[in-house]
Structure 1
């Protein structure tokens, strides 16, 4: 089986493998929330992420990390889980996609990644900041995606990508790309490798739901 979501998810999902190739459809699902904090001068301060995973995967995680068999995760078990997830998703830039005028913005690793269970569902919570100071440009976008295609992380409602306010003169909108249109619009940059097996090509971000903030060009 291909490795997905790092070694961590690949191992836990071993019992969930389908007959079709893994890249055809995701095997793990998560509902996301993104809170973006932007200063009045247009500087991006931080991104706050919350991912809530589906019941089946959450149950698999619980069984794997419940070392004392009490059907719940204590503080140490949650800390071990958070550490494992952090190690796994760090190589994928924590599934974040941040772009400024079409250029990818590098995000610093979060200081803390928290794992928790609420209503029998796994929650992953963390904050991240741009590695270098980031000011909104003509078009700045924020979202999440899994480059391995194994995990479907998405925002159920447009309001799940939240920003308290944008600088004066800027506008915001949530973009939910149509897959066929996304492929057509990016045909020139997609390689044969993407169509044969898109996993690891880093191009699944063209399908990602994102918040776009547009600001007037500076004179």
Structure 2
């Protein structure tokens, strides 16, 4: 078994074990772009996810490089592919709604891994299966089982790319506290009501256009 399978294995193991733990085991610092087409349609989300130091170190074990400690995109390509393939089962932790209707994403494209200062960062573009044009859009990023914690970067956490003029974006972190009334209690989690426990840690993005 190669270390290139490590992220898929840990994700699969973690999702299976999440029912017994109400805390994350992997931490991701994220930035995202909501991408629009020339006609003003929402086309998809471009993500950049930086893994925590410990996970990055573990994931890199066994990967051969030409220069010790220096990992190129080519070196990391097999691991990047494993990442995006394993994320499919979990809907890429990205959920979109237009007028209250769930939107379906296609396979990630333009994906690659970078390594800097001991941190692995996964970059990928997640296209909608069918671009949609609407004055309102809602996107959430989270792990329903809370095995993975998503914290968006302090600076420029979310951007709009190519959005029509006049579009306004609102970004809400789970620490903002506005969703407390909808959150499940720890007792419910321990009693097995955990199918969407991580929703209370969702990062929420809302866009309204003229």
TM over 0.5: yes
Q: TM-score range by the shorter chain?
A: 0.7 to 0.9
Q: Does 1:185 align with 2:182?
A: yes
User: How many positions carry a matched residue from both structures?
Assistant: 201
Among 182, 199, 202, which residue is 1:205 paired with? 199
Q: Does 1:30 align with 2:28?
A: yes
Classify 1:71/1:163 alpha carbon distance in 2 versus 1 (closer, same or farther; 3 Å): same
Contact 1:97 1:144 in 2 (8 A): yes
> Where does residue 208 of structure 2 map in the other structure?
214
Instruction: Name the CA distance, whole Å, in 2 between partners of 1:71 and 1:170.
Output: 44
> Where does residue 4 of structure 2 map in the other structure?
none
Among 102, 116, 122, which residue is 1:104 paired with? 102
Query: Deviation string for 1:142-184 (max 9, x for gaps)?
Result: 2321122111122122621011464345422112245875352
Q: Does 1:163 align with 2:160?
A: yes
Using the size of structure 2 for normalisation, the TM-score is 0.77
Any unmatched runs of 5+ in structure 2?
A: 1-6
Instruction: Name the CA distance, whole Å, in 1 between partners of 2:192 and 2:65.
Output: 36
Using the size of structure 1 for normalisation, the TM-score is 0.74
Contact 1:37 1:164 in 2 (8 A): yes
Any unmatched runs of 5+ in structure 1?
A: none
- Aligned residue for 2:128, secondary structure, equals coil
Among 83, 86, 91, which residue is 1:85 paired with? 83
> Where does residue 46 of structure 2 map in the other structure?
48
How far the C-alpha of 1:34 sits from its partner, in A, is 0.5
How far the C-alpha of 1:38 sits from its partner, in A, is 1.8
How far the C-alpha of 1:105 sits from its partner, in A, is 0.9
